[in-house]
Structure 1
Amino acid sequence: MKVPEIKKLVLAYSGGLDTSVILHWAKKTYKCEVIAYCADIGQEEELTGLEEKAARTGASKCYVEDLRAEFVSEYVFPMLRASAVYEMRYLLGTSIARPLIAKRQVEIAQKEGADAVAHGATGKGNDQVRFELTFMALKPDLKIVAPWRTWDFKGREDLIRYAKEENIPVTASAEKPYSMDRNALHISYEGGVLEDPWHEYKEDMFILTKSADQAPDKAEILEIEFVNGNAVAVNGKKMAPFELLMHLNKVGGEHGVGRVDIVENRLVGIKSRGVYETPGGTILHIAHRDLESITLERNLQHLKDELSLKYARLVYNGQWFTPEREALQAFVDQTNRAVNGTVKVKLYKGSAQVIARKSPNSLYSAALASFEKENVYNQFDAEGFIKLFALTARNSYSDYKKLIAGQHDVAGLVADRDG
């Protein structure tokens, strides 16, 4: 394979085994300057000393960027307004982080005059797509280096051996029971022993959430206030988006809320087993969707539910920076202008259950919904409505059943019906 000419490269860097080896390997392979870049999006890892480690590995410079507030307010909250859930269960914690990381990487590349960017995603997963679609959307002339698709290393043992040979400062062992990805919205666990979907996870794996049987025996009630679809307060205390999500992560995790163990369909066509902890996001999703139930008109709510599935696929597939997602966002934000009010959520033994809701924009009418005597709704009118609604069924369903039973031909059915 011909090695492309690269003068300066910006690497998405964590300081772990993979990106440490990539930093050294890229500098050696392309004989170029390498700038390391680490985005703090709430992974809670110790980032102190990362600049020094990057320099020891060969980086000319290292950016450590605090993107936590932007991540929650400009990516997580817009997605929550859309009620986006991939394949009905995954709240997209990893997916939604990649566009922001890649966007800032492009901005640093432009600032530094770099002609290439690099990431450590493998050739079998979704992240390579998410990173590269963002690179291509925001600065298509950048060269993209994806080492796992080009180098000769086959796995972790090869990287550890190379690191020792090249004196790359890493602390790693060959044994790794699973891989973990954390940010302010969630923690994901996959790979290793979890690749067997019949293998039960161990309780000591979890960081954010208690198991349901270890959660408190007493329920906790939260009152979450929303303005234009965004959570702004919990139990009367106003909070910025990042602070609010962190609070709900802590409270929800204490009650064991937000665990899922699923097999999902990756964009590349592979089925992948993942275990996720998303306590705060789970609470916000449930509460927001419930508030929509009393503030959105029926047909609008149904349309939004349909489009939420499309929105979720766009996020999962890395298509955040696309006209389609931005158009959907405009629709979502328009609908959320009415999503104002307060939702009561009961947390207990792994569940988050809405028990009450109110809104100044509520479309709910107790008079119309009541089974007691009232003068607003003439129940007799329902008879004509049902007859009109059933018109198609009355005219065609019996004919259809006869046709598939072989009792008549089509011409005969038409003649019987019209005659």
Structure 2
Amino acid sequence: MSAPKKVVLAYSGGLDTSIILKWLEIEYGCEVVTFTADLGQGEELEPARKKAELLGVKPENIHIEDLREEFVRDFVFPMFRANAQYEGLYLLGTSIARPLISKRLVELAAEHDADAVAHGATGKGNDQVRFELAAYALNPEIKVIAPWREWDLSSRTRLLEFAEAHQIPIAKDKRGEAPFSVDANLLHTSSEGKVLEDPAQPAPDYVYQRTVNPEDAPDTPEFIEITYEKGDPVALDGNPLTPAEMLTALNELGGKHGIGRLDLVEGRFVGMKSRGIYETPGGTIMLEAHRGIESITLDRGAAHLKDELMPKYAELIYNGFWFSPEREMLQALIDKSQEHVTGTVRLKLYKGMVQTVGRWSDHSLYSEEHVTFEDDAGAYDQKDAAGFIKINALRLKLLAARDRRVK
């Protein structure tokens, strides 16, 4: 790859991406544009601007953008319409953030006439795949630089030596080994590595950052109501909220009640297994609520087909194929299924648990007249079931007869 003249770097302001910033300038002699996305990670991001300026980046080349609404509206909500869970458990909090970051990297590269983008993902994880597949899907000509796959700064000691040699500020807590690695956004917090690497050992209490220990959660249940329109939550206890406001409010509620903790050993796309501690309080509430409203508004055939397709859809997102035609095809099917997923769900929050306790909708398919144990006034003729059973039993009877005959 020929040396790029200008690179747009996904920049957190932390030590690793600050080292990458300086390394790019030294290795390629290129100009660096920094991009810092506010996806609701809960950190003050203006220090990233000051850090970039300190490292010599021109003010006009520093971008800090609040993408919380776009993140939830255009990425999280569509994913939750599918009830997506990777390997049946993981709500894909890290996976779903990467395509949006890549999208803005590519857009900024076009705006700045840059010929490359760069990220700080390592060569062992999934994020490198997610960043790069998204970038290439949006601009097939873009160059992607992954310093962790190229440089010889293979240890924490080497990184710190590089930082000191190039006057990159090092926080006191960075001189020792970090106890674990954290990735956070409005949907979740992910913790991996170091003290969490032995899957036989319970995660220390200090790993959890968004949720109280369920045993320490309030002793009194809390009841909330979430209103849906076409598969997306739009109001909490009758109060209209934007997508980011909704997830923020549910995070607060879920965190208070210890909801959304997950200790998972997952199969990475690159081939190895890894152990992660995930906290997805608001997302866990949303998943339960969405299934609650679907239970009365979605036809059985449509619901079962969605559940059959969900693992594939979740795997596509986990593996980095958000911008693939197959994900978009599945999204069109999922969105079609949500046309009547409108109504309200009542939920009980209590000591790590979220449970649907009521649901109602003008679009409901539930007919009390048909399912009542009392007189149904002719709404359903039970004699009809006999023919239904005989037709469905015919092939089973033929199979049984054949098996008897050939024994």
Q: Same fold (TM over 0.5)?
A: yes
Aligned residue type for 1:360: D
Counterpart of 1:330 in 2: which secondary structure? helix
Aligned to 1:408: none
Aligned residue type for 2:313: Y
Matches within 5 A, 1:107-126: 107-126=107-126
Aligned to 1:59: 57
> How far apart are the structure 2 equivalents of 1:93 and 1:49?
25
Counterpart of 2:129 in 1: which secondary structure? helix
> How far apart are the structure 2 equivalents of 1:398 and 1:149?
64
In 2, are the aligned partners of 1:27 and 1:58 still within 8 Å (CA)?
no
Aligned to 1:128: 128
Aligned to 1:151: 151
CA RMSD, 1 decimal: 1.5
Aligned to 2:32: 34
1:257 paired to 2:259 = yes
> Residues 365 and 157 (structure 1 numbering): CA distance in 2 closer, same or farther, change over 3 Å?
same
> How far apart are the structure 1 equivalents of 2:313 and 2:400?
35
- Specify which of 291, 304, 315 is matched with residue 313 of structure 1: 315
Q: Deviations over 1:25-62 (max 9, x none)?
A: 11100111111111110011121232221122243321
> How far apart are the structure 2 equivalents of 1:118 and 1:58?
17
Q: Deviations over 1:141-167 (max 9, x none)?
A: 111101111111223232112211222
> Residues 371 and 159 (structure 1 numbering): CA distance in 2 closer, same or farther, change over 3 Å?
same
Q: Deviations over 1:362-407 (max 9, x none)?
A: 001112112223222222222221222122222225756x7xxxxx
In 1, are the aligned partners of 2:33 and 2:62 still within 8 Å (CA)?
yes
TM-score, normalised to structure 2's length?
0.96
Aligned residue type for 1:369: V
Aligned to 1:71: 71
In 2, are the aligned partners of 1:23 and 1:59 still within 8 Å (CA)?
no
Aligned to 1:193: 195
Q: Which has the larger displacement, 378-387 or 116-125?
A: 378-387
> How far apart are the structure 1 equivalents of 2:38 and 2:178?
23
Matches within 5 A, 1:157-168: 157-168=157-168
> How far apart are the structure 2 equivalents of 1:48 and 1:283?
31
In 1, are the aligned partners of 2:6 and 2:30 still within 8 Å (CA)?
yes
Aligned to 1:406: none
- Specify which of 222, 226, 229 is matched with residue 227 of structure 1: 229
Q: Any gaps of 5 or more consecutive residues in structure 2?
A: none
Aligned to 1:283: 285
Which of structure 1's runs of 4+ aligned residues deviate more than 3 A? 397-400
In 2, are the aligned partners of 1:224 and 1:342 still within 8 Å (CA)?
yes
Q: Which has the larger displacement, 153-162 or 27-36?
A: 153-162
TM-score, normalised to structure 1's length?
0.93
Aligned residue type for 2:49: E
> How far apart are the structure 1 equivalents of 2:166 and 2:258?
44
> How far apart are the structure 2 equivalents of 1:354 and 1:379?
31
Deviation at 1:270, TM superposition (A): 0.9
Deviation at 1:185, TM superposition (A): 0.5
> How far apart are the structure 1 equivalents of 2:96 and 2:401?
49
Aligned to 1:43: 41
Aligned residue type for 1:244: M
Aligned residue type for 1:326: E
In 2, are the aligned partners of 1:226 and 1:339 still within 8 Å (CA)?
yes
Aligned residue type for 2:91: L
